């Protein structure tokens, strides 16, 4: 007898990415220059590796406190206060999650109701849209314009607010855009959120990678915002701990009770050894982290210099994070077709801008996670492809 397993409709509605076409185009091709990966080529800082090794040798692999090791939450709370200017009670306002990815899901699932509208300035990190759908909510994309430096137009954003709008979700610095929204824009977003009683979810996973002179402002630190903001951070980028899967959420204590319950249902607790590594990461000597920061900064500058000189291509100068978002519309192809052609004809892997929503059409996302040699090779191939384009 065949069994009819009916999938929950919201889950069926999660959009499927076009990445399959990229993966298929790569099959059987060698020596591709990878300008797509979000996985940096560098290893974790030595200090973290040593502490992790000691932890493994001790055989420590117990379940931990469900919401994260108390000493990790306590130390994180101190660091947030010092460097992010966020005040968070480690007992009630911080949860350690299995990466930011888990944090985003549990918070959205806990606070969004079926039919709620979620404002997402776009191009955006795809997971915000997918999570909103998975939660039965309605993502409302509000376009960011290259001519405006991909900084939100507050009037445009406000016009998208309706009586059903419940939340605003964004990341700063941005993946995929590489931009860092300045203080005055965050002030404007805070005013808008307060005026319309919105919850704000801000993904600051690239908080430690700001290359412009301005320090980044966490929106949770602005007046009236702590009680309505969930801030997400993690160790995947700052300490190159992508595969260890540790992130955190900071939010107001009352709704965090629901977030904690859901987090417990999903993971019980994050990996104990990865939490020990995260604790070590918070004590990591500054010099080891500065090496990583400077390497990324130089790579971003190098790739931007190269891309901006390709004929007919424009690119907003990245001020943070690992990515560039050049406008490739001069080729007259859809982003996905261009990305496939670049693999097949030039041996360069990129991501189509449409991976980050429909407003990414005409753009590609380039990443600086590959080695400098690969980046230089990728750039040279891109330039040659552009020169030979009819
Ligand atoms: C903007 C953004 N948020 C979240 C994530 C996922 O982070 P984590 O590894 O902590 O789950 C990524 C990963 O690339 C990202 O770019």
pLDDT tens-digit readout, 246-279: 999 999 999 999 999 999 999 999 999 999 999 9
51, 365 Cβ separation under 8 angstroms: no
Q: What is the mean pLDDT of residues 163-176?
A: 98
Atom of ligand 1 nearest to the CA of 321: 16
What is the tens place of the pLDDT at every residue in 289-335? Answer: 999 999 999 999 999 999 999 999 999 999 999 999 999 999 999 99
pLDDT band at 212 (very low <50, low <70, confident <90, very high): confident
Compute the distance from residue 249 Cα to the ligand 1 centre, in Å. Answer: 13
Which CATH code of 3.40.50.920, 3.40.50.1220, 3.40.220.10, 3.40.640.10 fits the domain covering 47-282?
3.40.640.10
Cβ of residue 38 lying under 6 Å from some atom of ligand 1: yes
Instruction: Determine the Cα–Cα distance for residues 323 and 350; give it in Å rounded to an integer.
Output: 11
Q: Is the dihedral of CA 301, 303, 306, 309 positive or negative?
A: negative
Q: By three-state DSSP, how is residue 131 classified?
A: helix
131, 105 Cβ separation under 8 angstroms: yes
Task: Decide if pLDDT at 46 tops 70.
Answer: yes
Cβ of residue 236 lying under 6 Å from some atom of ligand 1: yes
Residue 257 CB partners (closer than 8 Å, separation 6+):
none
Compute the distance from residue 205 Cα to the ligand 1 centre, in Å. Answer: 6
Question: Given ligand 1 and candidates 40, 104, 125, 173, which is best to mutate, with the most ligand atoms within 8 Å of its CB?
Answer: 125
Cβ of residue 203 lying under 6 Å from some atom of ligand 1: yes
Per domain, the residue ranges of the chain are 10-44+287-388, 47-282
99, 233 Cβ separation under 8 angstroms: no
Give CA separation, 216 vs 34, 100, 180, 183, in Å: 29, 19, 7, 8
Q: What angle do CA 349, 351, 354 make, to 5 degrees?
A: 155
Cβ of residue 99 lying under 6 Å from some atom of ligand 1: yes
Atom of ligand 1 nearest to the CA of 171: 1
Task: Decide if pLDDT at 390 tops 70.
Answer: no
Instruction: Determine the Cα–Cα distance for residues 234 and 221; give it in Å rounded to an integer.
Output: 18
Residue that is written with structure tokens 């990678």 in the block: 209
247, 98 Cβ separation under 8 angstroms: yes
Q: What residues form DSSP beta bridges with 248?
A: 96, 233
104, 201 Cβ separation under 8 angstroms: yes
Report field, pTM of the whole predicted structure over 0.75: yes
Minimal-distance CA residue to ligand 1 atom 16: 175
The structural architecture, per CATH, of the domain 10-44+287-388 is Alpha-Beta Complex (3.90)
Residue 33 CB partners (closer than 8 Å, separation 6+):
347, 348, 349, 370, 374, 375, 377, 378, 381
Question: Given ligand 1 and candidates 126, 234, 239, 321, which is best to mutate, with the most ligand atoms within 8 Å of its CB?
Answer: 234
Compute the distance from residue 325 Cα to the ligand 1 centre, in Å. Answer: 17
Instruction: Determine the Cα–Cα distance for residues 40 and 21; give it in Å rounded to an integer.
Output: 23
Compute the distance from residue 15 Cα to the ligand 1 centre, in Å. Answer: 18
User: Percent of the chain having pLDDT more than 70?
Assistant: 100
Cβ of residue 205 lying under 6 Å from some atom of ligand 1: yes
User: How many angstroms from the chain centroid is the CA of residue 199?
Assistant: 19
Residue 188: the pLDDT is: 98
Cβ of residue 202 lying under 6 Å from some atom of ligand 1: no
Compute the distance from residue 206 Cα to the ligand 1 centre, in Å. Answer: 9
Q: What is the mean pLDDT of residues 54-59?
A: 93
Q: What is the mean pLDDT of residues 178-201?
A: 97
Torsions phi, psi of 43, nearest 5?
Answer: -90, 165
DSSP 8-state assignment for residue 176: T
202, 189 Cβ separation under 8 angstroms: no
């Amino acid at each position: 007898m065949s069994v009819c397993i009916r999938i929950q409709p919201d889950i069926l509605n999660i959009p499927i990415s076009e990445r399959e076409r990229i993966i298929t185009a790569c099959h059987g091709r060698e020596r591709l220059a990878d300008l797509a990966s979000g996985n940096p080529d560098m290893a974790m800082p030595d200090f973290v590796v040593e502490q992790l090794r000691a932890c493994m040798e001790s055989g420590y692999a117990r379940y931990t406190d469900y919401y994260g090791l108390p000493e990790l939450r306590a130390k994180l709370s101190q660091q947030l206060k010092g460097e992010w200017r966020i005040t968070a009670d480690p007992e009630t306002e911080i949860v350690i999650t299995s990466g930011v990815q888990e944090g985003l899901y549990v918070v959205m699932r806990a606070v969004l109701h079926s039919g709620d509208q979620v404002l997402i300035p776009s191009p955006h990190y795809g997971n915000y849209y997918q999570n909103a759908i998975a939660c039965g909510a309605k993502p409302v994309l509000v376009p960011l314009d290259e001519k405006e430096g991909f900084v939100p137009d507050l009037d445009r954003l406000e016009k998208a607010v309706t009586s059903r709008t419940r939340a605003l979700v964004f990341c700063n610095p941005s993946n995929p855009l590489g931009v860092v929204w300045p203080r005055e824009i965050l002030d404007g977003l805070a005013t808008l959120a307060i005026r319309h009683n919105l919850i704000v979810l801000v993904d600051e996973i690239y908080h430690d990678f700001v290359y412009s002179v301005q320090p980044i402002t966490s929106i949770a630190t602005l007046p009236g915002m702590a009680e309505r903001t969930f801030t997400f951070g993690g160790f995947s980028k700052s300490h190159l701990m992508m595969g260890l899967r540790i992130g955190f959420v900071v939010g107001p204590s009352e709704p965090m009770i629901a977030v904690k319950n859901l987090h417990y249902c999903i993971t019980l607790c994050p990996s104990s050894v990865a939490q020990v590594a995260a604790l070590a990461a918070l004590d990591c000597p500054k010099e080891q982290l500065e090496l990583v920061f400077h390497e990324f900064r130089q790579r971003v500058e190098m790739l931007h210099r190269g891309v901006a000189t390709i004929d007919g291509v424009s690119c907003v100068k990245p001020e943070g994070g690992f990515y560039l978002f050049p406008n490739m519309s001069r080729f007259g192809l859809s982003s996905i077709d261009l990305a496939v052609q670049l693999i097949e004809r030039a041996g360069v892997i990129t991501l189509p801008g449409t991976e980050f929503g429909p407003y990414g059409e005409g753009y590609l996302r380039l990443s600086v996670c590959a080695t400098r040699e690969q980046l230089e090779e990728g750039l040279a191939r891109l330039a040659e492809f552009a020169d030979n384009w009819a």
